[in-house]
Amino acid sequence: MIRLGLTGGIGAGKSTVAKTFVERGAYIIDADKIAREVVEPGSDGLAALVEAFGSDILSADGSLDRPALAAKAFVDDESRKTLNGITHPLIGARTQELLEAAPDDAIVVQDIPLLVENHTAPFFHLVVIVFADADVRLHRLTTMRGVDEADARARIAAQATDEQRRAVADVWLDNSGSADDLAAAAARVWDDRLVPFEANVRARRVAEPVPGLVAAEPNPDGPAVRLVNRLWAIAGERATAVEITDAAKSELRITARDDASSAELVDLLAVGGFAPVEPGVHGSCDPGRPATIRVETA
């Protein structure tokens, strides 16, 4: 199994990519859908919101009146923390249930609008960003979705910048063209990168790099920097340091806290996409991202 984080700015075309992945067999987990599910009528989540913010956040049919909730929950930081304290644990628990139900050979696609803003990119095997210029997204929102222009501009401005998205992107899908062009690009990513990546992780096999599979990035150190963050997410307290030893070759070193931590990292790295090659050395299972990880003990 591998987990893929899918995101992009509002109006960028993320739903087209998600649909393409699902058609090719993805196990989809939609964060927005879960957020709605945990506050449906009769749910513990809705009851907790009513207790915290009052019964006037309910519509006549007993469902959540989202504008009414927003008017109360976003007035100050304390109210926002109350809202997040109720909904975030419920969303997290439901997401974990769905992850545990996924098949062992699944390519799990987690559709998360605020993945960049929530700083969760390092916890995925790969992050896919769907990109379109702000002017293009503004046009789509106002003409195709009927969003007021001022509202659309405010929503775009409130999200992550293009530079922040680029920094976490393992896959950058440019949606400047047609929906068919975007779907075709997503299908190629699925067939040429995601399918072999997942198979390699299950087999604990280092990938054969495919030249040209991934385009060069504006920041040549970007892939190595993302690997540092991913390795910290995998190793956690078992590591005292994660360092880049050769950015151009994506060679990194993890310093394990002790021998027990070093032993635990063998399986954790394999599950995380870095198969063991020999004692203390792991290689990337991703055909689009060659990397060598060496583990030493402090």
**What string of pLDDT tens digits covers the 298 residues of the chain?**
999 999 998 888 899 999 999 999 999 999 999 999 999 999 999 999 999 999 999 999 999 998 899 888 888 889 989 999 999 999 999 999 999 999 999 999 999 989 999 999 999 999 999 998 888 888 888 887 888 888 888 888 888 999 999 999 999 999 988 999 999 999 999 999 999 999 999 999 999 989 889 888 888 889 999 999 999 999 999 999 999 999 999 999 999 999 999 999 999 999 999 999 999 999 999 999 999 999 999 8
Query: Annotated binding residue at 11?
Result: yes
d(CA 5, CA 75) in angstroms, rounded, equals 31
> Is residue 204 classed exposed, middle or buried when 0-12, 13-18 and 19+ CB atoms within 10 A define those classes?
middle
Q: Annotated binding residue at 33? A: no
pLDDT at 112: 95
Helix (H) or strand (E) holding 200: helix 195-203
10 Å CB burial of residue 191 (0-12, 13-18, 19+) is: exposed
8 among annotated binding-site residues: no
Query: What pLDDT, on a 0 to 100 scale, did the predictor assign at position 225?
Result: 95
d(CA 189, CA 180): 14
What pLDDT score was predicted for residue 70? 86
Rounded to 5 degrees, φ, ψ at 31 are: -60, -40
- At residue 247, the pLDDT reads 92
The domain made up of 2-197 has a fold known as Rossmann fold (3.40.50)
Tell whether 81 is in a known binding site: no
Which homologous superfamily does the CATH classification assign to the domain defined by 222-297? Answer: Beta Polymerase, domain 2 (3.30.460.10)
The answer to whether 82 is a known ligand-binding residue is no
Is residue 201 within 8 A of residue 273, CB to CB? The reply is: yes
Domain ranges of the chain: 2-197, 222-297
Angle at CA of residue 119, ends 191 and 266, nearest 5°: 65
Say if 2-197 and 222-297 have the same CATH topology: no
Q: Check whether 12 is labelled as a binding-site residue.
A: yes
